[in-house]
Amino acid sequence: MRYFGRLLTTLAAMLVLSLAPAYAASESGTHAWSSDTLTLRDGPGLAYAVTGEIAADLPIKVLRCEELWCAVDGPGGRGWTSKQYVVFGLTSTDWPGGINPDYPSGGSICFYSGTNFTGTELCMNSGHVIHDLALLGLDNSFSSVKVLGASAAACRDRGFQSYCERIIADQPALDPYLRRALSSIRVY
């Protein structure tokens, strides 16, 4: 009887794994979307063999990027694809998605190392841009933000790459995609 129970458990686990979408294997990575059909390749360039394809407007995970190419994982496989067809963010709309006249501007904004506006703070006025927080020794340091009349574009990677969010209101705890993962900031 024990053998039969273990056999059923093993078969059930195999069935669940076989039904899981291909991209579920990537627990890490940045959430993104395919803005067009993505051709997947063995490496970052046209010289590499085609290994698969991901249809347009599907959620994907970006594992890493180079200047023109990103390694992605999604429903259709894992491989390298052109960065120009990868849209970072929670929706498939190109970021920043146009100008919203309701975005606050002209004030300042403060980022804090702890949640609930505690710990070390970095305050910046409108117009301030930091392309790489690592150069200031502050990469992946912030957990909360207080808005004081401004708004900010905050991105996971240096140079405003990867997942970005427009911050327009206080956040006692930054979005999980940005919390302790912030690398570039532009204050409006």
Question: 150 and 183: one domain?
Answer: yes
DSSP 52: E
Residue 77 bridge partners (DSSP): 74
| pLDDT tens string 93-120 | 554 544 445 677 789 999 999 999 999 9
State the Cα–Cα distance between residues 89 and 1, nearest whole angstrom: 50
State the Cα–Cα distance between residues 80 and 62, nearest whole angstrom: 10
Give the domain CATH number at 162: 2.60.20.10
Give the count of domains, the chain.
Answer: 2
Question: 112 and 83: one domain?
Answer: no
Type of residue at 177: Y
Does 129 fall in a domain?
A: yes
Percentage of residues of the chain with pLDDT beyond 70: 77
Does 165 fall in a domain?
A: yes
Does 122 fall in a domain?
A: yes
| pLDDT tens string 33-53 | 888 899 999 999 999 999 999
pTM: 0.54
The least confident of 19-28, 41-50, 119-128, 154-163 is 19-28
Identify the band that residue 25 occupies on the pLDDT scale cut at 50, 70 and 90. very low
In which domain, by residue range, is 161 found? 108-187
Give the domain CATH number at 56: 2.30.30.40
* Boundary of a domain, candidates 38, 55, 88: 88
Measured in whole angstroms, how far is the alpha carbon of residue 103 from the centre of its chain?
A: 22
Question: 43 and 79: one domain?
Answer: yes
DSSP 160: T
Does 8 fall in a domain?
A: no
Question: 116 and 174: one domain?
Answer: yes
Question: 177 and 125: one domain?
Answer: yes
Measured in whole angstroms, how far is the alpha carbon of residue 89 from the centre of its chain?
A: 6
Predicted pLDDT of residue 16:
34
SS3 assignment, position 151: coil
Mean pLDDT score, 130-137: 93
Does 4 fall in a domain?
A: no
Identify the band that residue 74 occupies on the pLDDT scale cut at 50, 70 and 90. very high
Question: 142 and 173: one domain?
Answer: yes
Q: Please report the DSSP string for 70-112 in residue order.
A: EEEEETTEEEEEEGGGEEESSSSSPSS-S--TTS--SSEEEEE
The secondary structure element, H or E, covering residue 36 is none
30 CB contacts (<8 Å, ≥6 apart)?
A: 61, 62, 88, 156, 157, 162, 163, 177
Mean pLDDT score, 170-179: 91
State the Cα–Cα distance between residues 128 and 122, nearest whole angstrom: 12
Predicted pLDDT of residue 142:
97
User: Is the pLDDT confidence value at 28 over 80?
Assistant: no
